[in-house]
Structure 1
């Protein structure tokens, strides 16, 4: 059995509510009218009985005649009927027990009676309830007719309301269902700022994020292909030279350096894909000065610093330093890069400064995002991995830049004395 549509479920739910409301309202209306009629009759009988009892006490009994549909009866103390103006309204003796000077009303199947004690005996005033029953019967017919008129009318209004309410939602559902990896444009529907409108906005934000991610992926693949193609071309050229002249040491060294560059690029790709920069840490007591000096010497850049120890993974920290220094070298050349290390309170402060053209201000907030590419080139991976490594060690990388001066500041917690 196929699932019910949202419109049908909404229609059925509100139809049930309308049915319950209508039945309840008509039932309460009927009960209210019945209580009002019976209450009015009871109040009239009590008032007449009290007036008649007062007249009897004053010796103004007069003639016992029915007046205005009310019948007067007189019973002895033992319950024997003295005067009956309507035989059908005769009360059994059990009903006359305990009658006092304060009027009280009893109900029977076809009449109501008010009883009160007087000097002449037990006075009973009765009145037929047939008019009330007929009125209630007419009222029930009218309420039933109203039900058969109002229920389908309400159902129609509920259907129109459900259709009107669900139309934009169904349109939004069709538009969302039409989206695919090849079609990620936003849903062109504007709804009020309610739950459904927020849902469409959230879907549009998700589509926009997916579109941006897909564009970044496409850009990354193109840049990664370019980054790999260039060293591969160089590597193949030098291998060809070595094939012709196996003793060409310069070609061998260049091929080895090129292969190392490719290896690091592939490691960066794997680190991002697996999240290894954040997860696979092998902590040791690390001499950060020796580590920074090694990375600076490897790239041929200037270094100065004091002895600083941190707790961390030396391989990951060295990878972070290499990525930062390589970024500066691409921007300013190795002569324009300087690495410095010092203590700053409870942290170790490592600075990598370069004299390159600077980073555009609109790019700075996104500089450490994956696939974000600065003006110095690269595949947009190194800075993202460097930030991930710094955070995995409880630190952070900040950057400030202007034309001719860019500084990356790495803050890492110092090794505690207890450690």
Structure 2
């Protein structure tokens, strides 16, 4: 009885690599792509084969130039950072390695590694720019609404004074609706304008005091069914800041999480975790900091719907009925006034809001 054994091939080792690897023929067409390349390029080997790698991108001429030099053996290997544009999808930020091979059939190997740090920086810059646009839009809109509201409320009050006595009771109900709705809108406008007032950097802030204050408020509001876990790094130093603004920012995030946990709270297995750490050499809003606070607010809820994940910090965007869509907008603004940023990663069963603030 004979036992057949699989014969190893030259590409077996490439299958296990986490980085995308492609082998190209003399015309620059893809002959082989490992599983990581399929994931990165969002296409199967069957779909990639015989396509020119440079044709997959709008600015593929950069890759074509690298291929030509490698195929001509002008170098053994060449590393470059590239931004590869794609139709209808986000650009790829990649570290590229082109290597010349002594193989006539596949003379060039291209390795692509997604540049996670550059992606993060680009996302932060985009978030900051969007936030600045939102601030200007909100400020102008709020001022445009505020003045007519005062006149509307005043007119309703004067009208109420002029109502005939015999119809006062039934007609007063309508004027009160106008007055109360004007007051409600005034409160909304005040909340829209509030984050544009500068932070009062008046005290040393202990982030754990902030978290404990928020925790006590959450326990009071949700005494049953919600477990709040604490995972603190007590070595984190104090920093200058506006304690009340930070309490409000963390409370807004935690409160949003609790509302998303409604079903789990009723089942008694809802979890909310406050975790603090220090990160080193972090870039926030294009500025490099030696140390930064790394605060996570994590819940085990259903996750943020895919269609709003990229817009959750926009004003008036809410994932629940009846939500104002201002809580996360205010939280982001308050944190940005401390030179920080809020990031979010969400999937079913785990939503993680990450607050980064520079430390002295």
TM-score band by shorter chain is 0.3 to 0.5
Query: Which of 1 and 2 has greater Rg?
Result: 1
| TM-score between the two structures when normalised by the length of structure 2 | 0.39
TM-score, with normalisation over the residues of structure 1?
0.34
